[in-house]
Structures are given as structure tokens and as C-alpha cells.
């Protein structure tokens, strides 16, 4: 098999890249290790920056998003019984949007299939060869070893993918922070309560209440890294969420059947070597953010935009400039976003053996973001997302 750009991974990064390249008339093949049903069913993030929404609309995959996306115009943070609330709408009316990553992925996959373009599901990439001049992607599908020849390889295969390993400097130029806790996430058939949402910092640890749709709630509890997600009954989970979210108003979360339980470690990770020869990497393959800023999906879309332009330059315009600068352009948006996500995490969680001094420092951050003009602007700008260079 041959194509112009071989894309590894059908997550948001790979699918968005493929969509933009399609609009430029560039041929792609996507190889995805998992089954179609698995990829469509995977539950992940659900908050889109304004820029992500505009990108999806601009490339013709925003119809359902226009109908079903729910605007988020303010952010609540609770602090041991106090409730703080700040607007995140900026001068030009931009805001965030609730729309599940699973829906973004479905919209992109269905559009591509409707256009008759290939996604090879259950095709696991095992090795990359000749990345300097004539790349070959070796993969296994239908029980047989196969090769995809291409001019460029897009490594959009997530944190545990294979492609980062083919960048010689990747390990030496990687930066990692591991947090000593995890998030226990649930999906629940419970209409999100309009006043009981956002983050809560409590002595028992962080809680988060967010929406996936008008009728589905997505909620999280900070837990130890080895926490067993099946250890608590539904009732106990709701009780714990209510305890942490308590703001003295007597209001309680709307309860409902818990349909999904998962656990995710928190880490910050940036690989500062994002290209080698004819291989470029994007999204979780190159960086991970703690989920508190809801930035993972949004960063992946930002990378995909830059990668598409870099490849268009090389393949259609005989222009190497963006390609040569790909890593630097991406990192200028990645690092501040990772830093913000970590700052939020540092402020909102209870760390093991946390001192009262640290708790006061956290409270000062919160106060700055919620109640001072400069802090509110900082909070709003960071939440809404940095502008794109490309
Ligand atoms: N061969 C083929 N596909 C692979 C391989 C492989 N060897 N290794 C991984 N993949 C696939 C995974 O199965 C997954 O579908 O690559 C895809 C990577 O997708 P994501 O993990 O969703 O990463 P990305 O597209 O960068 O999106 C980042 O996803 O992890 C969330 O919260 C994160 O929102 C962020 C977003």
C-alpha cells in the first residue's frame, strides 16, 4: 500500500490532521490499532476551546457540534464550603463548549467514511523504517505483516505509541512530572445541576462536576494512584462527591445511575523533540497534561493544524519553512498550556502530607484568579486557550 502521508492513530490528532490534509487534496491512510467500536466507545475529555470549535467548523465537521455543544460561560471553584464563580467570556464573546471527545472522534470518523477514505482499524504499527528518505510503516492487520509506503509519517499514536521512540533525541529531551494521585472518573445518568459544577478543593481532596450533555454528568474524585474504581457503591460515590462539593447552601448534586468508572494517573509530560527526518509527532504522543485544565484534546487539535501546514508546504508548495520549524511552533503553544494545567493541578489538589502553609499558598492562587482583575484575566485567557500561530 502507498500514500502521501501515513497517519498512525485514529484519535483526535490523527483524525483532525487527516481531515485538514483531505481539504488540501493530500492523500492519507490512517492505521489504528484498536477496533472501530473501541475507538468510538472510548470515554475521554469533553471541553472544547473556542479555537477547537472554530477549527472543526472550518473543516466541515462542526454540524452536530453546532446543535449539541453546550456553552460554558463561567467557572465555579469551591473551597472548603465557599463558592467562587468567575466569568470566562472574553471581550469578543468567546467561551468554552461542552462536547465530548467521543463525539468529536465520531464526527471525524463518520465524515471520513462518508467520503470513502480509508481508516484501517485493527492495524497495529510495529516498526518504522527509512524515515530519512522513503518511510515505510510496518504493521500487522488481518493476521499478516504489511507495509505502508509513504512520503511522510504522522505519529499521532498517543502516549504509549511507537512513533516517539523513532526520534533519536526524544528520551533525552523529555520532561516529566508525575502527580502522587489519580482521578476516579464516572459517567452518570444524572442531569448536571446548574449550580453544582466546576472544581472543589476540600480537605478530603479535589472533586469535579461537569457535564457531557443535558442529561449526562461527568464527575471526578481525587483518589490514591492505586485506588480500586469498583470499591465504592454508587451511593457512596455520590455521598463523597456531595461532601467535597458542599458549599453550605444545602444544594446537592443530582444523582443517577453510574454507567462508567475509570481511573487516570495525573502527569505532565513534554517531549521537546517532535520530528526526525520524515516523521512528525503530535498530540499525546508528544505531550500529556493533567486533566484539570481540559487541554489534552485542544492541544492535539493545535498540533494537527501546524502539522497539516508543514506537510502542505512540503508536498504542494515546495516550501520547507513550516516543516523545518514544526517543533518550535508547536512548543510555543504547548509549554504555556502544560504550565497552566500543572498550575491548576497544584492549586486544586490535596497533596499527601500537605502543610497548612501550602494550603494557604493554594488559596492565594484561587483568590487571585477569582477576585482580582489581573487574576481573572489570566484565568480567562488560559482557560479559553492561546491563539494559533498557524
Ligand atoms: N499502531 C496503531 N495505532 C496505535 C498504535 C500503534 N502502534 N499505538 C497507539 N495507537 C492508537 C491508539 O489506539 C489511539 O487510538 O493511536 C491513537 C492515539 O489517540 P489518543 O490517545 O486519543 O491521542 P491524540 O489523538 O493525541 O489525542 C489526545 O486524547 O488521550 C486523550 O486526553 C487526551 O484529549 C487528549 C487526546
**Integer CA distances (angstroms), 263 to 180, 208, 223, in order:** 13, 14, 9
Q: What distance in Å separates the CA atoms of residue 128 and residue 118, rounded to the nearest whole number?
A: 20
pLDDT > 90: percent of the chain: 96
Q: Whose CA is closest to atom 29 on ligand 1? A: 297
Mean pLDDT of 151-176: 98
pLDDT of residue 14: 98
pLDDT of residue 13: 98
What's the pLDDT tens digit per position in 314-337?
Answer: 999 999 999 999 999 999 999 999
What's the pLDDT tens digit per position in 197-255?
Answer: 999 999 999 999 999 889 999 999 999 999 999 999 999 999 999 999 999 999 999 99
Q: What distance in Å separates the CA atoms of residue 105 and residue 49, rounded to the nearest whole number?
A: 16
Ligand 1 centroid – CA 32 distance (Å) = 9
The pairing of strands 47-48 and 198-201 is unpaired
State which ligand 1 atom lies nearest to the alpha carbon of 303. Answer: 26
Number of H helices, E strands in the chain: 10, 19
Phi and psi at residue 16, to the nearest 5°: -65, -45
- Residue 346 gets the label, from left (phi > 0), alpha (psi -120 to 50) or beta, of alpha
Give the distance from CA 357 to its chain's centroid: 32
Inter-residue contact 4 to 26 (CB < 8 Å): yes
**Could you tell me the three cell numbers for 62?**
462542526
Q: Whose CA is closest to atom 34 on ligand 1? A: 297
pLDDT of residue 376: 97
Phi and psi at residue 354, to the nearest 5°: -65, 135
Q: Whose CA is closest to atom 33 on ligand 1? A: 296
**Could you tell me the three cell numbers for 372?**
482580582
pLDDT of residue 299: 98
Q: How confident is the model at residue 118 (pLDDT cuts 50, 70, 90)?
A: confident
Q: Whose CA is closest to atom 23 on ligand 1? A: 158
Q: What distance in Å separates the CA atoms of residue 69 and residue 50, rounded to the nearest whole number?
A: 11
Taking alpha carbons only, the member of 161, 148, 112, 147 closest to residue 280 is 161
pLDDT > 70: percent of the chain: 100
State which ligand 1 atom lies nearest to the alpha carbon of 123. Answer: 2
State which ligand 1 atom lies nearest to the alpha carbon of 162. Answer: 7
pLDDT of residue 55: 98
Lining ligand 1 with CB less than 6 A are 8-14, 31-34, 39, 44-45, 101, 124-125, 156-158, 161-162, 283-285, 296-297, 300
What's the pLDDT tens digit per position in 52-83?
Answer: 999 999 999 999 999 999 999 999 999 988 99
**Integer CA distances (angstroms), 88 to 75, 129, 338, in order:** 7, 47, 19
Inter-residue contact 339 to 386 (CB < 8 Å): no
Q: How confident is the model at residue 123 (pLDDT cuts 50, 70, 90)?
A: very high
Kindly report the CA angle at 168 between 274 and 31, in degrees rounded to 5? 60
| Helical residues (DSSP H) of 115-258, grouped into ranges | 234-245
pLDDT at 112 over 90: yes
Q: How confident is the model at residue 110 (pLDDT cuts 50, 70, 90)?
A: very high
Q: What distance in Å separates the CA atoms of residue 58 and residue 310, rounded to the nearest whole number?
A: 18
pLDDT of residue 233: 98
Taking alpha carbons only, the member of 93, 2, 85, 59 closest to residue 304 is 59
Q: What distance in Å separates the CA atoms of residue 376 and residue 84, rounded to the nearest whole number?
A: 12
pLDDT at 43 over 90: no
State which ligand 1 atom lies nearest to the alpha carbon of 283. Answer: 26
Class of residue 191 by CB neighbours under 10 A (exposed 0-12, middle 13-18, buried 19+): middle
pLDDT of residue 81: 87
State which ligand 1 atom lies nearest to the alpha carbon of 282. Answer: 26
Ligand 1 pocket test target in 283, 302, 306, 338 with most atoms within 8 Å of CB: 283
The conformation of residue 281, written as its DSSP 8-state character, comes to E
pLDDT of residue 80: 86
Ligand 1 centroid – CA 375 distance (Å) = 34
Amino acid at each position: 500500500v502507498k500514500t502521501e502521508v501515513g497517519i498512525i492513530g485514529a484519535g483526535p490528532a490523527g483524525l483532525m490532521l487527516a481531515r485538514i490534509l483531505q481539504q488540501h487534496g493530500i492523500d492519507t491512510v490512517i492505521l489504528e490499532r484498536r477496533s472501530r467500536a473501541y475507538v468510538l466507545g472510548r470515554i475521554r475529555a469533553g471541553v472544547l476551546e473556542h479555537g477547537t470549535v472554530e477549527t472543526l467548523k472550518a473543516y466541515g465537521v462542526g454540524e452536530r457540534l453546532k446543535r449539541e455543544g453546550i456553552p460554558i460561560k463561567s467557572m465555579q471553584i469551591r473551597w472548603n464550603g465557599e463558592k467562587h464563580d468567575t466569568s470566562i467570556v472574553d471581550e469578543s464573546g468567546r467561551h468554552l463548549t461542552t462536547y465530548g471527545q467521543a463525539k468529536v472522534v465520531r464526527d471525524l470518523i463518520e465524515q471520513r467514511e462518508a467520503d470513502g477514505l480509508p481508516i484501517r482499524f485493527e492495524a497495529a504499527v510495529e516498526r518504522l523504517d527509512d524515515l530519512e528518505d522513503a518511510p515505510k510503516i510496518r504493521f500487522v492487520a488481518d493476521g499478516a505483516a504489511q507495509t505502508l509506503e509513504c512520503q511522510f509519517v504522522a505519529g499521532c499514536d498517543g502516549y504509549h505509541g511507537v512513533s516517539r521512540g523513532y526520534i533519536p533525541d526524544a528520551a533525552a529531551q523529555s520532561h516529566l512530572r508525575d502527580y502522587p494521585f489519580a482521578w476516579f472518573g464516572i459517567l452518570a445518568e444524572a442531569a448536571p445541576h446548574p449550580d453544582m459544577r466546576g472544581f472543589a478543593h476540600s480537605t478530603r481532596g479535589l472533586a469535579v462536576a461537569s457535564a457531557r450533555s443535558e442529561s449526562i454528568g461527568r464527575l471526578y474524585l481525587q483518589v490514591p494512584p492505586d485506588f480500586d474504581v469498583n470499591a465504592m457503591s454508587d451511593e457512596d460515590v455520590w455521598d463523597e462527591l456531595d461532601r467535597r462539593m458542599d458549599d453550605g447552601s444545602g444544594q446537592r448534586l443530582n444523582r443517577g445511575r453510574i454507567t462508567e468508572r475509570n481511573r487516570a494517573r495525573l502527569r505532565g509530560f513534554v517531549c521537546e523533540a517532535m520530528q526526525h527526518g520524515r516523521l512528525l509527532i503530535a498530540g499525546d504522543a508528544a505531550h500529556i497534561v493533567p486533566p484539570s485544565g481540559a487541554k489534552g484534546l485542544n492541544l492535539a487539535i493545535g498540533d494537527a493544524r501546524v502539522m497539516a501546514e508543514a506537510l502542505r508546504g512540503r508536498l504542494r508548495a515546495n516550501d520547507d519553512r513550516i516543516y523545518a520549524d514544526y517543533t518550535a511552533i508547536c512548543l510555543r503553544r504547548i509549554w504555556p498550556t502544560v504550565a497552566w494545567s500543572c498550575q491548576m493541578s497544584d492549586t486544586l489538589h490535596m497533596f499527601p502530607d500537605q502543610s497548612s502553609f501550602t494550603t494557604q499558598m493554594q488559596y492565594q492562587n484561587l483568590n487571585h484568579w477569582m477576585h482580582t482583575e489581573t487574576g481573572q484575566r489570566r484565568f480567562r485567557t488560559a482557560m479559553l486557550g492561546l491563539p494559533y500561530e498557524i
